[in-house]
């Protein structure tokens, strides 16, 4: 039997679970299965079975040849949304028991869309993950410098602990003041809990310390990060154990690797649960950076239009640079070191509806039909018209060749739903209603893309649009004009791009610490003299990174370290992330050079006129990225054929409703699998592949490049 070394990337989405499999011969296969929210392992194993059959292997033989499985999961996010996590107890410093309930200034609006956030008369705070009766305070105090001011009393901890156990606590979160500077008291509490209630007495009840999960300043965000991690910890552990056992039973003996929102992967057993949130879009962003190396594009706006959401991320100068300092998970602000990917409720399953309160205005989303029941045209019980229903009625989708013919669509049901729910209430015909739905969702996505690029100080016209997701290729030509971009890349793997990106990711994690240092003191107008105060933090982080990765079998010679610093002028609130050229400062001149680098970075974002070095420059936190070095192999491009596609690539024509002025236009339809690299197709045209549909609008030219990507360039005004 011929052996191979398969690499499998998996991305669990709201509607579909995507799979991307590649091998040593640079061959690849993709597949999609409906996401089984009631048990994610079912959809997972169905996809593995499909990949095995594609390679003409029994599942055990296929899994024995799989070198790695990189998995991005939504099980933790689902637990938060559905509030199915365990009953937790919080131990904090006495006098600060109400901290998580008071929140930050506008925490009641965290995680809400702009429409809900504006409706202040109806808005409600989210149901807390830990109720007030499960929060206890212990008398202790460590000051800002890490000095113990008031010692911890073991007897008091035991008494408060017993109260939480009596109330049914299934896990404990410990978050004390200034523990990110000195974690001594938190560690003592954990030791007391484990001594008093060993595992064989109470069972598996995790004790989560904020100094381990989020050693950063910001009492509310640090505590909420630890609570969110604890809330999804048990559910994720159960899911991963179940999945791991199923894989082992079928022949896969290697550890399951989870994708992190920090841009890397780690073994499931060594993963902080909170870092799996939004991992799928981050994997897609990673794939975008890799794809940019193939196409020669350095400024890319990554977009992924799936069934439930529309994700946006930026590649600037060939690198992922945007980080979210206080990312929102569900309704809670955290301070994990996550890569920034924005998501809005706009996808193929987004529901179109008429807003009576806004004068019968047409709205699309953020509600979604999801995978079950899905759009009306799926004929699975859906009653509300969606974007996919509108695309079908307009003629962009082939009802008999959707997903390669594996799913038949009911056009009449879609038409009737749009007529009853949209057209009649608005007093318009069905085709205009469908056109408005498509146009509105394109406008929403285009405006969000423009904002995401422009508000970060970039010219959107200099960015290429990467159109990913099952519906990305069908809507890209409608999105690009809103940002002024004249080039679109529709990847060959677009419908499973998150899984594709996951398959490329390396072992990597970020370790961070809050430490406030005056790199340039505004009072004395001098640079940092005590270099050890800086270097001791980076050495501590490096030791933690080496300890963690050496336990996974890697030595220091295989690891690349990158130090990034969150810096700001004086007491400014907003921080700017700056990459340091070295892990340690060897002289005062190094501190000066770092300040100069910060000023240049700040000027690039906010303009040179906004810089003010004499006001002081502070370092507020350190982030050390440790990545296991891998040899990146770029595939070779295939030889280009003639521009004219072969005759068998054209499968026929069908009427497509492009706009109210043109009405239905007989549009040529091509089979993607019959196109050759170098082939060009002028719009209007439809190109159908097994997993997605590429819509080439009038005034656009589609070219298949040497890597199988569809390059769409605007030729008209």
pLDDT digits (tens, 9 = 90+) for 552-583: 778 888 899 999 999 999 878 788 889 999 99
Spatial distance between the Cα atoms of 514 and 80, rounded to a whole number of angstroms: 27
Residue 430 · residue 415 · CB < 8 Å: yes
- CA dist 253 to 2, 21, 45, 63, 67, Å? 19, 18, 15, 8, 10
Do 6-78+238-276 and 508-628 come out as alike in CATH topology?
Answer: no
Question: Is residue 420's pLDDT more than 70?
Answer: yes
Highest mean pLDDT among 11-20, 46-55, 370-379: 46-55
Cα 37 to Cα 371, 580, 591, 637: the distances in Å are 9, 43, 51, 39
434 neighbors 657 (Cβ within 8 angstroms): yes
- Give the confidence band of 415 by pLDDT, cuts at 50, 70, 90: very high
Query: Which of 1.25.50.10, 3.30.300.130, 3.40.50.10860, 3.30.420.40 would CATH assign to domain 6-78+238-276?
Result: 3.30.420.40
Residue 670 in tokens: 């091509």
Q: How confident is the model at residue 1 (pLDDT cuts 50, 70, 90)?
A: very low
Specify the pLDDT at position 505.
Answer: 87
354: left (phi over 0), alpha (psi -120 to 50) or beta: beta
Strand stretches in 42-156, DSSP E: 66-72, 89-93, 135-138, 141-142, 148-150
- pLDDT of residue 523 exceeding 90: no
Q: Are strands 617-628 and 508-521 parallel, antiparallel or unpaired?
A: antiparallel
Classify residue 698 as exposed, middle or buried by CB count within 10 Å of its CB (0-12, 13-18, 19+). Answer: middle
DSSP 365-378: EEEE-TTTT--GGG
Strands ordered across the beta sheet of 257-259:
28-34, 16-22, 6-12, 66-72, 257-259, 265-267
DSSP code for 119 = -
> Is there a contact between 194 and 207 (Cβ–Cβ < 8 Å)?
yes
Cα distances from 612 to residues 152, 161, 313, 566, 609, in angstroms, run 44, 50, 30, 17, 8
Give the whole-angstrom CA distance, residue 220 versus residue 96. Answer: 10
Q: Which residue has the tokens 């409720």?
A: 345
Which region, left, alpha or beta, applies to residue 397 given φ > 0 means left and ψ of -120 to 50 means alpha?
beta
Q: Is the pLDDT of residue 146 over 70?
A: yes
Does residue 418 have a pLDDT over 50?
Answer: yes
CA 434 to the chain's CA centroid = 30
pLDDT confidence of residue 203: 47
Structure token digits, residue 567: 């810096």
Which run of H or of E encompasses 229?
Answer: helix 219-249
Determine the average pLDDT of the residues in 596-610. 89
The kind and range of the H/E element at 267 are strand 265-267
Q: Of 30, 33, 31, which is closest to residue 16 (Cα–Cα)?
A: 33
CA 203 from chain centre, in angstroms, equals 33
pLDDT at 202: 43
The stretches of 55-98 forming alpha helices (DSSP H) are: 59-64, 75-82
CA dihedral over 696, 700, 701, 707, signed as positive or negative: negative
Q: How far apart are the first and last CA of the chain?
A: 56
- Cis omega before residue 684 (within 30°)? yes
- Choose among 295, 302, 343, 294: nearest CA to 321: 302
Please tell me the predicted confidence (pLDDT) of residue 419. Answer: 93
- How high is the pLDDT of residue 94? 95
Q: Residue holding tokens 């930050």? A: 104
| Cis before 366? omega within 30 | yes
CA distances from 563 to 516, 539, 604 (A): 16, 11, 20
Q: What is the reported pLDDT for 570?
A: 86
Distance CA 680, CA 703 (A): 4
β-pair partners for 258: 71, 266
Q: In the predicted model, what is the mean pLDDT of residues 389-411?
A: 85
Average pLDDT of span 368-393: 86
In the DSSP assignment, the letter for residue 423 is: I
Q: What is the pLDDT of residue 717?
A: 54
In the three-class reduction of DSSP (H, G, I as helix; E, B as strand; rest coil), residue 379 is classed as coil
What is the spatial distance between Cα 129 and Cα 560, in angstroms, rounded to a whole number?
A: 38
Tell me, which fold does domain 508-628 have in CATH? Dna Ligase; domain 1 (3.30.1490)
> Which pLDDT band, with edges at 50, 70 and 90, does 710 fall under?
very high
φ, ψ (nearest 5 deg) of residue 445: -65, -45
For residues 2 and 472, which has the higher predicted lDDT (pLDDT)?
472
Q: What is the pTM of this model?
A: 0.85
Task: Report d(CA 646, CA 256) in Å as an integer.
Answer: 44
Q: Reply yes or no on whether the pLDDT at 18 is more than 70.
A: yes
Joined together, the tokens standing for residue 163 give 């109260």
> Taking 70 as the threshold, does the pLDDT of residue 323 lie above it?
yes
Tell me what the mean pLDDT of segment 275-293 comes to. 89
Identify the residue with better confidence: 262 or 698. 698
154/447 Cα distance (integer angstroms)? 56
What mean pLDDT is reported for the chain?
87
> Stretch 432-458: mean pLDDT, rounded?
91
Per-residue pLDDT band for 263 (boundaries 50, 70, 90) equals: confident
Distance CA 440, CA 462 (A): 24
Cα torsion 97, 102, 103, 105: sign = negative
In this structure, the number of other CB atoms found within 10 A of the CB of residue 254 comes to 14
Each domain of the chain, given as residue ranges in start order, spans: 6-78+238-276, 87-224, 283-309+345-506+639-717, 508-628
Pairing of strands 487-490, 464-468: parallel
Q: Name the token pair of 472.
A: 């990305």
For the segment 89-144, what is each residue's pLDDT rounded down to a tens digit?
999 999 999 999 988 777 777 777 666 666 677 777 788 899 999 999 999 999 99
Residue closest to 213 by CA, chosen among 172, 242, 255, 157? 172
Is residue 183 scored above 90 in pLDDT? yes
- Report the percentage of the chain scoring pLDDT > 90: 44
Give the 3-state secondary structure of residue 696.
Answer: strand
- Which of 69-73, 190-194, 244-248 has maximum average pLDDT? 190-194
- Tokens standing for 491? 């990847």
State the Cα–Cα distance between residues 595 and 346, nearest whole angstrom.
41
Among 549-553, 587-591, 632-636, name the one with the lowest average pLDDT: 632-636
Question: Tokens 């809507």 sit at which residue?
Answer: 475
């Amino acid at each position: 039997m011929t052996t191979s070394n398969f690499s499998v990337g998996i991305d669990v989405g709201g509607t579909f679970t995507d799979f991307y499999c590649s091998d040593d011969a640079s061959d690849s296969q993709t597949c999609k299965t409906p996401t089984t929210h009631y048990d994610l392992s079912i959809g997972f194993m169905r996809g593995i079975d499909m990949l095995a059959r594609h390679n003409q292997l029994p599942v055990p033989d296929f899994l024995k040849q799989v070198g790695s499985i990189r998995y991005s999961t939504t099980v933790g996010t689902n637990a938060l949304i559905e509030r199915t996590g365990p009953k937790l107890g919080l131990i904090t410093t006495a006098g600060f028991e109400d901290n998580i309930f008071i929140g930050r200034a506008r925490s009641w609006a965290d995680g809400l869309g702009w429409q809900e956030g504006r409706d202040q008369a109806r808005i409600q705070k989210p149901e807390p993950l830990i109720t007030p009766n499960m929060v206890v305070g212990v008398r202790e105090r460590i000051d800002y410098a890490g000095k113990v001011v008031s010692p911890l009393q073991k007897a008091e901890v035991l008494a408060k602990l017993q109260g939480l156990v009596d109330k049914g606590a299934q896990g404990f979160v410990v978050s004390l003041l200034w523990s990110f500077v000195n974690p001594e008291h938190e560690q003592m509490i954990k030791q007391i809990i484990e001594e008093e209630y060993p595992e064989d007495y109470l069972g598996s009840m995790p004790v989560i310390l904020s100094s381990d999960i989020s050693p950063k300043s910001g009492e509310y965000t640090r505590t909420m990060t630890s609570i969110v991690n604890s809330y999804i910890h048990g559910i994720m552990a159960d899911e991963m154990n179940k999945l791991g056992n199923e894989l082992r039973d079928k022949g896969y003996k290697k550890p399951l690797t989870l994708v992190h929102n920090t841009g890397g992967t780690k073994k499931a057993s060594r993963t902080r649960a909170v870092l799996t949130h939004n991992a799928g879009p981050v994997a897609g962003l990673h794939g975008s950076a890799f794809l940019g190396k193939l196409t020669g594009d350095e400024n890319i706006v990554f977009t992924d239009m799936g069934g439930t959401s529309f994700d946006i991320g930026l590649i600037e100068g060939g690198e992922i640079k945007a980080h979210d300092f206080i990312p929102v998970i569900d309704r809670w602000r955290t301070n994990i070191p996550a890569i920034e990917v924005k998501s809005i409720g706009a996808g193929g399953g987004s529901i179109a509806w008429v807003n009576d309160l806004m004068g019968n205005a047409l709205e699309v989303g953020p509600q979604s039909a999801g995978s079950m029941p899905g759009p009306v045209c799926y004929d699975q019980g859906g009653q509300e018209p969606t974007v996919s229903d509108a695309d079908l009625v307009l003629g962009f989708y082939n009802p008999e060749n959707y997903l390669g013919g594996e799913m038949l669509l009911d056009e009449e049901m879609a038409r009737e739903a749009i007529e009853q729910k949209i057209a009649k209430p608005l007093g318009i015909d069905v085709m205009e209603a469908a056109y408005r739905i498509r146009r509105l969702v394109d406008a929403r996505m285009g405006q969000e893309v423009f904002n995401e690029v422009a508000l970060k100080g970039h010219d959107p016209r200099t960015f290429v649009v990467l159109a990913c997701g099952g519906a990305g290729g069908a809507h890209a030509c409608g999105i690009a004009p809103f940002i002024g971009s004249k080039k679109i890349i529709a990847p060959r793997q677009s419908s499973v791009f998150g899984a594709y990106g996951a398959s490329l990711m390396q072992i990597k994690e970020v370790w961070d610490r809050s430490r406030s240092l005056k790199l340039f003191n505004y009072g004395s107008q001098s640079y940092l003299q005590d270099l050890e105060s800086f270097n001791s933090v980076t050495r501590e982080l490096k030791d933690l990174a080496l300890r963690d990765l050496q336990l996974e079998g890697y030595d220091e010679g295989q690891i690349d370290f990158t130090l990034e610093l969150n810096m700001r002028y004086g007491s400014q609130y907003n921080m700017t992330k700056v990459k340091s050229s070295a892990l340690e400062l060897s002289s005062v001149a190094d501190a000066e050079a770092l300040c100069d680098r910060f000023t240049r970075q700040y000027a690039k974002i906010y303009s040179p006129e906004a810089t003010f070095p004499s006001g002081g420059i502070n370092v507020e936190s350190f982030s050390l990225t440790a990545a296991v070095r891998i040899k990146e192999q770029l595939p070779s491009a295939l030889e280009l054929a003639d521009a004219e596609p072969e005759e068998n690539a054209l499968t026929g024509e069908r009427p497509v409703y492009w706009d109210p002025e043109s009405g239905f236009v007989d549009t040529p339809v091509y089979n993607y699998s019959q196109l050759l690299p170098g082939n060009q197709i002028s719009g209007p045209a439809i190109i159908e592949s097994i997993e997605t549909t590429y819509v080439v609008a009038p005034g656009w030219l589609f070219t298949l490049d040497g890597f199988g990507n569809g390059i769409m360039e605007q030729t008209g005004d």
